[in-house]
Amino acid sequence: MDNSRKVFAALFVFSAVGFAILLIRSTPSVHAHDPNAEQIVYEYKVSVFPVNDPIKQAEILNRNGAKRWEYVGLIQPPYTQNGKHSPRSFVAFRRVAE
């Protein structure tokens, strides 16, 4: 066996071992749901964000944060269905229900 075949064989073996390790380590753990655990109930709200006013956006975030609302995600992207820029977007917030 010449050197190029030995190098190729070694690379193949190391690649296969590395791939196997990657598969083993990246497999997510599965945890059973504890039926006795207390369920957290959230309430949700939607805030309107002006797209071009970062100061107003910060005010809305700070006001919601002070009332223990946490950011969930964007509900409406800042573009309309026809691709034009919308002057506002809708953002969802949640907090633990009282």
- In a domain, residue 51? The reply is yes
Q: Answer whether 76's CB lies under 8 Å from 90's CB.
A: yes
- In a domain, residue 28? The reply is no
- In a domain, residue 60? The reply is yes
- In a domain, residue 48? The reply is yes
Q: What is the mean pLDDT of the chain?
A: 77
Quote the pLDDT of residue 67: 93
Give residue 59's domain range: 42-96
Per-residue pLDDT tens for 53-72? Answer: 889 988 988 999 999 999 88
pTM higher than 0.75, yes or no?
A: no
Q: Answer whether 46's CB lies under 8 Å from 90's CB.
A: yes
CA–CA distance, 80 with 91 (Å, rounded to integer): 15
* Amino acid at residue number 84: K
Give the chain's domain count: 1
* Amino acid at residue number 85: H
Residues 21-32, mean pLDDT to the nearest whole number = 57
Per-residue pLDDT tens for 70-89? Answer: 988 888 766 666 777 777 78
